[in-house]
Structure formats: C-alpha cells, structure tokens
Amino acid sequence: MAIRVDLDVMLARRKMSMTELSSQVGITLANLSILKNGKAKAVRFSTLESICRVLHCQPGDILVYEEDGAWNQ
C-alpha cells in the first residue's frame, strides 16, 4: 500500500509554482519537494491544512491511496 502526493496536478490547476506554494504555506522549497516527490515518511496535519487552504482543495485532491506497485506499472 502506498500514499502518493499529487501536488503537481493541483499546482497546474491553480497555475502556481512550487516556490509560490512554499512561500504561502511557510514550508521550505526543499521540504515541499520531498513531499511532492514521494520521499516524505509523514506530513503534519497543520502542513496539509495549509497546503489545502492555499490551493483551495481537499486532502483527497492531493493524497491518493494505491496498492503496492499500481503506480510503477
């Protein structure tokens, strides 16, 4: 099982850059990149809340559950 972070999709829909999002959320660009690239082991609810507030979305719009290997095929 895996949780995938689909920030790219919401950023494209909102026509927002990673730099702009990191500034508005208050998270470093490096940490936001770790989250976006699926390298993060955890995310704080406060960070998720801030991302959703800035992107005007729901957590389910950026977090996707998939069975193991489903996204590597």
Cα end-to-end span (Å), the chain: 14
What are the tens digits of pLDDT across the range 2-46? 888 999 999 999 999 999 999 999 999 999 999 999 899 999 999
CA-CA-CA-CA torsion for 7, 28, 35, 19, nearest 10 degrees? 20
CA–CA separation, 56 and 67 (whole Å): 27
Mean pLDDT of 53-69: 90
Question: Is the pLDDT reported for residue 54 higher than 90?
Answer: yes
Residue 54's CATH number: 1.10.260.40
Q: Considering the domain boundaries, does residue 41 fall inside one? A: yes
Q: Considering the domain boundaries, does residue 71 fall inside one? A: no
Q: Considering the domain boundaries, does residue 34 fall inside one? A: yes
CA–CA separation, 25 and 2 (whole Å): 24
The answer, as to whether pTM is greater than 0.95, is: no
Predicted local confidence at residue 25, as pLDDT? 96
Predicted local confidence at residue 66, as pLDDT? 85
Q: Considering the domain boundaries, does residue 73 fall inside one? A: no
Token duo for residue 55: 């992107």
Structural domain boundaries, residue 46: 2-66
CA–CA separation, 25 and 51 (whole Å): 6
What total number of domains does the chain contain?
1
Q: What is the largest CA-CA distance in the chain?
A: 34
Q: Considering the domain boundaries, does residue 6 fall inside one? A: yes
Predicted local confidence at residue 51, as pLDDT? 97
